[in-house]
Amino acid sequence: MNTWLKRAAWAVVVLALAGGVGRAYLTRKAKAQEAQVATEQLKAPVVFELAQPDTVTARQGVLVQSVSVSGTVKATQSATLKARVAGELQGLSVREGDRVSAGQVLATVDTTEYNARLQQAQQQAQAAAAQVDIARRSLDNNQALVAQGFISQTALETSLANLHAAQANHRAALAAQDIARKSLADTALRSPIGGQVSARLVQNGERVGVDTRVLEVVDLSALELEAAVPPAQAALLAVGQDAHIQVEGLPGAVQARVVRISPAAQAANRSVMVYLKVETATGLRHGLFANGLVTVGQRTGVLVPAQTVRNDKPQPYVQQISPAGEATRVVHTPVQVLAQGQTREGSDTLMSMVSGIADNALLVSGRVGFIQENTAVKLPTTAPTRP
């Protein structure tokens, strides 16, 4: 009986082990099959489904070629009033925004000291004039005495030299008088131009030194945009070309025209300064930032939206969709950007004229972003967007 029980126990143990091994094998086999299925799924090609706005078609068209400009709007006429003499400032009543006229006295420097200096110079000039009269009478007397033989010729020459010295002192005194009179006139600060006060830098009662800035005046009747342009684009600009600029704070575009181009490049950044006359518009102010486009000509060629051209490789390229009849995939086609601007129809979209792709080529639009080359795509059922 004991032997039979032992054999039965060993049989149960063996069966249990065999069952566990079988279950482990089946579980491992199932997991291996699942892993194989997942691997096959990963190997399956990724297909991007594109919507109608995600594609554009390159087309032959006329590009209004333009050059981008940006800079600060400045008044053509502006002036800074500075104190020409030192002293206490008085009579300054205008403030920012007030209108002033050319020649208007806007403030004065205390004249007490300068009136006294002018009186001193006048008295010195009168004293020098009296010395001239004395020296002239002495010379006349000595000439009569020399003629009668009472004094020598040397004494006469001495009298003549004294007269010349007195005349020189009188001229110097008159010059000092003129300097004092000008200093008195310089106590009045007059506006050199008509316009509006843009900055008041000191207050009444302050003591100012020579060349202290007191007021800034701008004339808003004539404004211009000062822009720095790279040399390659500056070569396309010419005086008289029209431009549309957008000024910060203004709702619409403002008309402008190129009026001056600097003959020299800036040493710091090798850019060329270009000046555009800006048409007067409500809300236009001195010092506002503006940017826009100068129309430089027209060209005909293959046009695509500027955002379609990508520059994350050494050479610009577009993400072109392979034509019908082949596998629909994305191909990175290198292109050369020939020009940029708007179309003749006046669209606000910035367009690029490119070479390297054919007319009616189907492209991925710039809103999609980067797609790996040779990636399969599914095209929308509606017609692609034409730039």
Residue 259: pLDDT above 90? yes
State the virtual CA torsion across 107, 111, 113, 119 in degrees, nearest 10: 150
Q: Is 246 exposed, middle or buried (0-12, 13-18, 19+ CB in 10 A)?
A: middle
What number is the average pLDDT over the span 245-263? 90
Is the C-alpha dihedral spanning 82, 85, 88, 91 positive or negative?
A: negative
| Cβ neighbour number for residue 320 with a 10 Å cutoff | 21
For the chain, what is the mean pLDDT? 85
Please report the pLDDT score of residue 256 as a whole number: 93
> Nearest-CA neighbor of 72 among 251, 233, 274, 260?
274
| Annotated domain spans of the chain | 111-185
Percent of the chain with pLDDT over 90: 44
DSSP codes of every residue in 301-355: EEEEEGGGSB-SSSS-EEEEEPPTTS--BEEEEE-EEEEEEEETT--SS-EEEEE
Percent of the chain with pLDDT over 70: 86
pLDDT digits (tens, 9 = 90+) for 124-143: 999 999 998 998 888 888 77
pLDDT digits (tens, 9 = 90+) for 52-71: 888 888 999 888 888 889 99
Q: Does domain 111-185 have CATH number 3.30.1330?
A: no
Q: Which helix (H) or strand (E) holds 196?
A: strand 195-200
196 strand-pairing partners:
99, 218
Please report the pLDDT score of residue 258 as a whole number: 94
Please report the pLDDT score of residue 145 as a whole number: 78
Highest mean pLDDT: which range of 101-110, 241-250, 335-344: 101-110
